[in-house]
Structure 1
């Protein structure tokens, strides 16, 4: 098969996706890597039907990669994940509406186009978690204790575009990261970005039936096949606080092989990349061991 990976400069030397690319090449497949932020692209040729069997996205939220993936989907090409599904989780305003509307345990969510409008949120809702609607990797996430504290943060929030605010969910200071790949669920516990503590090390954990059911529901609700879910164990039960369409999978045993196999399976299924998945999926629960990716240098990948 011939595959096209859209990979942002930020992930140029990351183990994910470079280890997956190397795995696919070792299996005899051809892989082109496009750098969306650093390439002059002739769209009519790049999107030529039949050039690639599937397109895969590993880029930052808010970057140009998703637009290219959506262009591929518009041409009827197969995408991994589904292009519309990725848009549905990368826009956190849209993700909140979809998730709450479909019964996922998400916090109530406020959305504003200008940070000063956050001052209209009732004081009873504090403390708040405020973050960009297109944020990723913990960028510009703030725990806001009071309206007075919000006032001091307004200059820092001014350039972040659309923002969301959610009431803070009391928790132990750690969250559960659940990875979904190839019909299996893997989980680790890690320090919450709102409570940085260098002494807390990421560790493997078993999945409770309740959290596993929520993680599986996330895939069905958003139409994702490869994804990660951040879950907080709050006083009223598990709460979903973030969904990633192509996470690091760094805690998944043999992650590169598993992700590569999943990509090939999805590519062969011929999903058009324009409609959410509706079929039921049976997930297998696994506790993942802790591993660290090795940054990848040159791997024989074709650059575009």
Structure 2
């Protein structure tokens, strides 16, 4: 088979996906690597070529790779994961709305386009976790113990395009990362990015049945085949706090071969699971009452 991997500079030397690429090459498949952030892309030629059996994306959330993958999908090419599914989880505000509509256990989520609007979140929501809507790898995650901590953080948040905020889920300082590869689930325990001082070595752990059920449901909800789910064990049960397409798969036994086989299977099948039909949901938006000057006067 001939595959195209879209790999951002950020992952140029990472084991994932390079080990997968080496494995596929060793099995006799041709793998072309495109670096979307460092290449002049002839978009019309790319989408007309049809030379690849599947396109695979491993890029940062805000990188240009997803645009290229979506262009390939629009031209009828197979993508891993489904390009629309990736878009649905990379925008964390959108992911929260989709997850809420489909009953995933997750924190209430607020979204703002300007950081100063975070001040409108009720005090009862604190402690509050604030992070970029397009963040990844724990970038820009902040825990605010009380509203008076917000003012000091505003300059740091000013450069973000959109932010989300969620009430903090009390936990023991660790989270469970569940990886899904070819329908199999693997769980690891690691330090929460909000508790970097916790003395926890990342390790594979048994997967609780309830967490397994939720992790499998995540794939169905978002239409993903290769993915990771961050789960916190809160006082009211497991809570989904993040979903990643094509994660690191750290601690997964024989990860490179497992992921390579999954990519080949998806390429041969012409893609993965069908995206679930859209479910209606209401996105609550607070609209301040605006009174125009002279509103009571006749025209």
Mapped to 2, the partners of 1:30 and 1:105 lie a distance apart of: 41
Mapped to 2, the partners of 1:63 and 1:151 lie a distance apart of: 29
Structure with greater contact order relative to length (CA < 8 Å, sep ≥ 6): 1
> What is residue 239 of structure 1 aligned with on the other side?
239
Paired residue secondary structure (2:56)? strand
Q: What's the offset of the Cα at 1:200?
A: 1.7
Mapped to 2, the partners of 1:277 and 1:123 lie a distance apart of: 36
Matches of residues 206-285 of structure 1 in structure 2 within 5 Å?
A: 206-271=206-271, 276=275
CA contact (8 A) 1:128 1:144 kept: yes
Per the normalisation by structure 2, the TM-score is: 0.91
- Gap runs ≥5 in structure 2: 278-299
Mapped to 1, the partners of 2:126 and 2:183 lie a distance apart of: 38
Q: Deviations over 1:65-91 (max 9, x none)?
A: 000000000000000000000000000
CA contact (8 A) 2:81 2:272 kept: no
Whether 1:83 and 2:83 are equivalent positions in the alignment is yes
Mapped to 1, the partners of 2:221 and 2:276 lie a distance apart of: 9
Mapped to 1, the partners of 2:36 and 2:272 lie a distance apart of: 21
Matches of residues 188-207 of structure 1 in structure 2 within 5 Å?
A: 188-197=188-197, 199-207=199-207
CA contact (8 A) 1:224 1:277 kept: no
Paired residue secondary structure (2:219)? helix
Per the normalisation by structure 1, the TM-score is: 0.89
Mapped to 1, the partners of 2:127 and 2:152 lie a distance apart of: 15
> What is residue 48 of structure 1 aligned with on the other side?
48
Judged with a 3 Å threshold, the aligned counterparts in structure 2 of structure 1 residues 129 and 187 are, in CA distance, closer, same or farther, namely: same
Q: What's the offset of the Cα at 1:277?
A: 6.0
CA contact (8 A) 1:76 1:272 kept: no
Number of positions where the alignment pairs a residue of Structure 1 with one of Structure 2: 277
CA contact (8 A) 1:69 1:83 kept: yes
CA contact (8 A) 2:4 2:55 kept: yes
Paired residue secondary structure (2:243)? strand
Q: What's the offset of the Cα at 1:133?
A: 0.3
Q: What's the offset of the Cα at 1:7?
A: 0.2
- Where do 4+ consecutive residues of structure 1 move more than 2 Å? none
Mapped to 2, the partners of 1:210 and 1:42 lie a distance apart of: 47
Q: What's the offset of the Cα at 1:50?
A: 2.5
Q: Deviations over 1:228-261 (max 9, x none)?
A: 0000000000000000001000211000000000
Mapped to 2, the partners of 1:211 and 1:198 lie a distance apart of: 22
CA contact (8 A) 1:49 1:77 kept: no
> What is residue 74 of structure 1 aligned with on the other side?
74
Q: What's the offset of the Cα at 1:212?
A: 0.2
